[in-house]
Amino acid sequence: MDNPFIIKSYETMELFCDREEELQQLLRNVTGHIDTTLISQRRIGKTGLILRLFDELSATHPDIQTIYMDIFASQSLDDFIKMMAEAAMRAFRPKSSILDKLMIFIKALRPQISFDPITGEPQLQISYQTTHEKEYTLRGLFEFLDSQNTPIVMAIDEFQQIREYPEQNMEALLRTYIQQTKNITFIFCGSKKHIMADIFANARKPFYSSTAFLTLDKIPLEKYKAFITNLFNKKNRNLQSEAADFILEWTRRHTFYTQQLCHTIYDNGATDIGLDDVKKACAQLLQQGEAVYLQYRQMLTEKQWNFMIAVAKEGSVTQITSAEFLRKYKIGTPSTARKQTDSLCEKGLLNAETTLQRTEYTVNDVFFSHWLERL
Ligand SMILES: Nc1ncnc2c1ncn2[C@@H]1O[C@H](COP(=O)(O)OP(=O)(O)O)[C@@H](O)[C@H]1O
Ligand SMILES: [Mg+2]
C-alpha cells in the first residue's frame, strides 16, 4: 500500500524520476506558446511527464488551466468531440464560472449525460444530424475554450489515433481550428513514431512544421540507479549495488518494466535486497505474464512466433536479413524476414528504434522478451 514505486502514470514529484530537461523544455514551450509533439516508444513515460508538467504548472503558473485528454479508445470524430468535452468538464473547478458556462454550452448540444459508476465522472452521449453539425460542434468547443480569457494547455495523448477515424479530413479540420486559437497551447503525444512523424513532419500534411519536437528516451543509468536506491532507503530498505545494476539491466531501463520490478521487489518485503531477491521477483513477473504470452502465441503464425523467439534470444537485432541470423534461426529468405518484421512491428509486438545509422529491433514487452528467450 505504501509502495513508493508507481506503476500508474503519475502521483507526486518525489516518486517521479528525473525528466528535468524534458520538463524544462515543455515549460519553455507552453509559456512561450509553442505547441509540442512528444514522441517515444510505449511505456517510457510520456503520460507521466505530461502529468508531471501539469503538477508543476499548478504550482508555478496557477493562472494556466490544464486539460488532458487521452484519445486511445476513440474511433471517430464523434468520440473525439465527446472526449474533448468530458476532458474540459473534468478540468475546470466545480462551481467555477467557466464550468458553468461550459455546461450551458454542452447542454445546448442536447447530450445524454450519465455518470461512470466507478469513477463518478460525467459521460456524454451526443447525437448529430449531419457531418456539418459535428464539425460545427468541434469548432464551437475550441472557440469556447479559447474565449475564456484563460491561458490553457491542452494535451492530447495517443494523438496518432485520429488516423484510424473514418473521417478523412480530421487533420485539416483540427489544424484549422487549432491554428485559430490564441489562448490554448497544445501538446500532441504519441507512441507510433512513424505515424506521428507523418502527421507532423510530412510537408504534404496539414500539421507540417507546426510544432516543436520532443522525444523521450530512457532515463540515464546513474540517475535511475540513484533514484531507485534512494526510494528503498527512504523506506528503511537497503538495495545492494549489484542488485540495482541487475534491475536496470534486466528491465533495459524501460521505465514501465523497471517500475514494475521494483514494485514487486518492494512488495516481497526483503530489507537487505540482494541479487537473489531480484531474481525471485523477475521469476514471479514472468510467471504472472504467462497467460498473456500464451495468448500471443494463439494470435501468431508459427513463423511469426519463431521470429519473436529469435529476436528475444538475440536481445536486439540490427541485421534482420543477415545470412547468419537467418541461418541460426532457420528463418528463410531475407524477404521473409522483412515480412515478419513488418507485421510484428505493425502488431506492436516488436519495436523498431531507428537512428541515422541503423534500425534496432527488440521485443516490445521486456518481460515477454525474457520469457521467450528461455524457450
Ligand atoms: N519518470 C518516471 N519515474 C518513475 N516512474 C515513471 C516515470 N515515468 C513513467 N513512469 C511509470 O512508467 C510507466 C509508464 O509510463 P507512462 O507515462 O504511462 O508511459 P507512456 O505514456 O510513454 O506509455 C507508468 O507506470 C509510470 O508510472
Ligand atoms: Mg501514455
Instruction: Record the pTM.
Output: 0.94
Which residue, by CA, sits nearest to atom 4 of ligand 1?
16
* Highest mean pLDDT pick, 68-72, 113-117, 127-131: 68-72
Q: How far apart are CA 125 and CA 12, in angstroms?
A: 33
Q: How far apart are CA 205 and CA 208, in angstroms?
A: 6
Which ligand has the nearest atom to the CA of 15? 1
Mean pLDDT of the chain: 95
38-52, 127-141, 324-338: lowest mean pLDDT where? 127-141
Query: With 70 as the cut, is the pLDDT of residue 139 above it?
Result: yes
Q: Kindly list the distances between the CA atom of residue 247 and the CA atoms of 39, 170, 232, 304, in Å, as whole numbers in the listed order.
A: 25, 43, 13, 29
The CATH architecture assigned to 19-215 reads: 3-Layer(aba) Sandwich (3.40)
Which ligand has the nearest atom to the CA of 16? 1
The grid cell for 174 is 483540427
How many residues belong to the chain? 375
Mutate to test the pocket of ligand 1, among 14, 18, 259 (most ligand atoms within 8 A of CB): 259
Cell 509559456 appears where? Answer: 31
Q: Which CATH class is domain 220-299?
A: mainly alpha
What band does 115 get if pLDDT is binned at 50, 70 and 90?
A: confident
Query: With 90 as the cut, is the pLDDT of residue 71 above it?
Result: yes
What band does 318 get if pLDDT is binned at 50, 70 and 90?
A: very high
Q: Kindly list the distances between the CA atom of residue 72 and the CA atoms of 292, 355, 374, in Å, as whole numbers in the listed order.
A: 21, 27, 33
Ligand 2 center from residue 161 Cα (angstroms): 12
Task: Count CA atoms within 13 Å of residue 192 on its CB side.
Answer: 18
Task: Count CA atoms within 13 Å of residue 243 on its CB side.
Answer: 24
- Ligand 1 atom with the shortest distance to the CA of 10: 27
| Beta-bridge partner residues of 184 | 152
The grid cell for 301 is 503464425
42-51, 95-104, 206-215: lowest mean pLDDT where? 95-104
Ligand 1 center from residue 41 Cα (angstroms): 11
Find out if CATH 3.60.20.10 is the number for domain 300-375. Answer: no
pLDDT in tens, 2-28: 999 999 989 999 999 999 999 999 999
Q: Which residues' Cβ are closer than 6 Å to ligand 1? A: 6-9, 16-19, 40, 42-48, 191, 255-256, 259
User: Residues spanned by CATH 1.10.10.10 within the chain?
Assistant: 300-375
Q: How far apart are CA 300 and CA 321, in angstroms?
A: 21
pLDDT at 116: 84
- Ligand 1 atom with the shortest distance to the CA of 216: 22
Q: How far apart are CA 23 and CA 243, in angstroms?
A: 29
What band does 119 get if pLDDT is binned at 50, 70 and 90?
A: confident
Cell 479559447 appears where? Answer: 146
User: Residues spanned by CATH 3.40.50.300 within the chain?
Assistant: 19-215
- Residues with Cβ within 8 Å of residue 293, at least 6 apart in sequence: 368, 371, 372
pLDDT at 234: 97
pLDDT in tens, 218-263: 999 999 999 999 999 999 999 999 999 999 999 999 999 999 999 9
Query: With 70 as the cut, is the pLDDT of residue 1 above it?
Result: no
Mean pLDDT in residue range 333-358: 92
What band does 126 get if pLDDT is binned at 50, 70 and 90?
A: confident
Ligand 1 center from residue 256 Cα (angstroms): 6
Which ligand has the nearest atom to the CA of 9? 1
- The CA-based angle 228-366-359, given to 5 degrees, is 110
